[in-house]
Structure 1
Amino acid sequence: MNHPITIKSGDIELAGVLQYPVVKEGARYAEKYPLVIICHGFVGNRMGTDRLFVEAAERLTKSGYLVLRFDYGGCGESSGDYGSGGLDELIAQTRTVIDYASGLDLVDSERLILLGHSLGGAVAVLTAARDTRVRSLVLWAPVAHPYMDIRNIIGTKAIKEIETVGQTDHLHYLFTKRFTDSLAQYQPLTETRAYAGDVLIVHGSGDTVIPVDYCFLYQKMFWLRKEGNCDKEVILQGNHTFSSKASRDELFDVSLRWIDGIGKRRGDWSQWTI
């Protein structure tokens, strides 16, 4: 069951959908469910390219998870201007969504998972480093160097236009120096140590947008922490949005197996007493 929602974040209204777990006929709903919040990428939306997030949510709800998909301000059906507040605003909006989710009675607060794709992956890391409510991270082809990676996407000509004119038009989105400055300000790789939860990184070897090498960099940085595990998976020939059926099936299988495993380990530990 899908429930449309609107979440107020400052002056912006974030449009989203809360998807409930699929329960077999005759079975009872549980009191609490683990929740996956999906963070879309640069100028994206809660549907995802080629319905990536829609399909992911379908797989997750069939396995007993609550899923919350939302549009960042200025994207999809949300109000506002995307990028006007830089990464600061994207982090703030993500935390506002967590506020909303944490207030739902049916959410298991011990199993709140952020799933971020591309720039949404970087935002998920930066959010988790600031918000202990995030228990686990799933990163799909995550951005590691926001300024360089977005510069490569919009082009050096657009960057020069921002520096000289003060703004540029990219796919009808207006980006200013405030946005590019915020990209340069944040370095997700250096903030990994501030997050103590478990992490899964999945990247396609055929990704021409965000280098597959980033998954190795991220894992190395997460391994330097005193606590928290980090696993990675490279999907052969997978592109940036895992658009082939084979790569997408593998992406979902790997992610769901890992998320299930994290939940089982937490359940096992909860049985121990001292």
Structure 2
Amino acid sequence: MIHWQTFDGLKLAGYLARPESRRTRALPGVVLCPAFPSAANGGKRAADRLYPLADRIAQNMEWIALVLNYRGCGDSEGDFSLDGWTDDVLSAVDHLDGLEEIEGIWLAGFGIGGALAAHVAQEDLRVRGVATMGAPVDFDHWGLDASGVVEYARSLGIITTPDYPDSVDSWAKAARSIRIDRCAAEIAPRPMLVLHGSDDREVSPLDARAIADAHGDAGLRIISGAGHRLHSDPRCIAILLGWLDSQITLIP
């Protein structure tokens, strides 16, 4: 486990996987952005399920893979908010970019993590490509019950500070401001992969189509019979790994 500081002084934890051997000096890097914690795992183990994927990417593909624990999750400090988690993804890009052997950074995120990855990539040109898996196109529904979302986050342990946030309305406004279709349009012409389960009951597959359409040239794959938790679907992982492998041509 590694640690680094965010722009606002919080200490974040992450899992960094490196290849045991490599043929070249320069290596591509990917930040893996977890989904929102589930009731079964809670915030403390939200990112654990991606550690084996990071190891696989590092050892089989000779990439450096960083799994991020957002603020409030795992051993990371702080409390959950979408704008805070966005800053955390950006700080992870900074950390990876600071490694001497890194040549090119990609982002891959599951669920909310995919949305955050796209949100960061729209303005950060260090990010050469983005893969989203089960990502929502917006967070408008959170604004309808912001207090409920905050209390649910508190029950998961990703909000621990009493009386946080100072303003639920401001917290909800920040969530409503995120539109992933607009982000996708800004990411183009950089590569984008959009994966979604046909049987996703948490995020409509129509969201994936809206994101891909906004990009204009994204690789859209709707996985038959798959639900929302695509990290456990071998077809999704195979497509993601194949896409990452195809990105090597973008490294000069």
| TM-score normalised to structure 2 length | 0.84
Q: Contact 2:44 / 2:75 at 8 angstroms: preserved in 1?
A: no
Match of 2:246 in 1: 261
Matched residue type, 1:41: A
Q: CA RMSD for the aligned pairs? A: 2.4
**Gap runs ≥5 in structure 1:** 224-228
Match of 1:208, SS state, is: coil
Written as runs of structure 1 = structure 2, the 5 A alignment for 1:113-152 is 113-148=106-141, 150=142
Q: Residues 16 and 46 of structure 1 are in contact (CA less than 8 Å); yes or no, is this contact kept in structure 2?
A: no
Larger Rg over CA atoms: 1
Specify whether residues 252 and 46 from structure 1 end up closer, same or farther in structure 2 by C-alpha distance, changes over 3 A only.
Answer: farther
Distance 1:249 1:140 in 2: 13
Instruction: Write out aligned runs for 1:148-163 (5 A).
Output: 148=141, 150=142, 158-159=145-146
Structure 1 pair 218–104 and aligned structure 2 pair: CA distance change class (3 A): same
Question: 1:226 corresponds to which residue?
Answer: none
Instruction: Say which SS state the counterpart of residue 168 (structure 1) adopts.
Output: helix
**TM-score scaled by structure 1?**
0.78
Q: Does structure 1 residue 34 correspond to structure 2 residue 28?
A: yes
Are 1:181 and 2:181 an aligned pair?
A: no
CA contact (8 A) 1:35 1:108 kept: yes
In structure 1, what is the equivalent of residue 205 of structure 2?
212
4+ residue segments displaced more than 6 Å: none
Aligned length: 236
Secondary structure of 2:92's counterpart equals helix
- Displacement, 1:42? 2.4
State the Cα deviation string for residues 115-159 of structure 1 (Å, max 9, x = none). 1111111111110011100001011111111132x46xxxx6x54
Does 2:83 correspond to 1:100?
A: no
- Select 2:15's aligned residue among 14, 17, 26: 17
The 3 A distance-change label for structure 1 pair 206 and 22 is farther
Q: After alignment, is 129-138 or 33-42 more displaced?
A: 33-42
What corresponds to 2:4 in structure 1? 7
Identity %: 21
Partner residue in 2 for 1:53: 50
List runs of 5+ in structure 2 lacking aligned partners.
160-164
Deviation at 1:114, TM superposition (A): 0.4
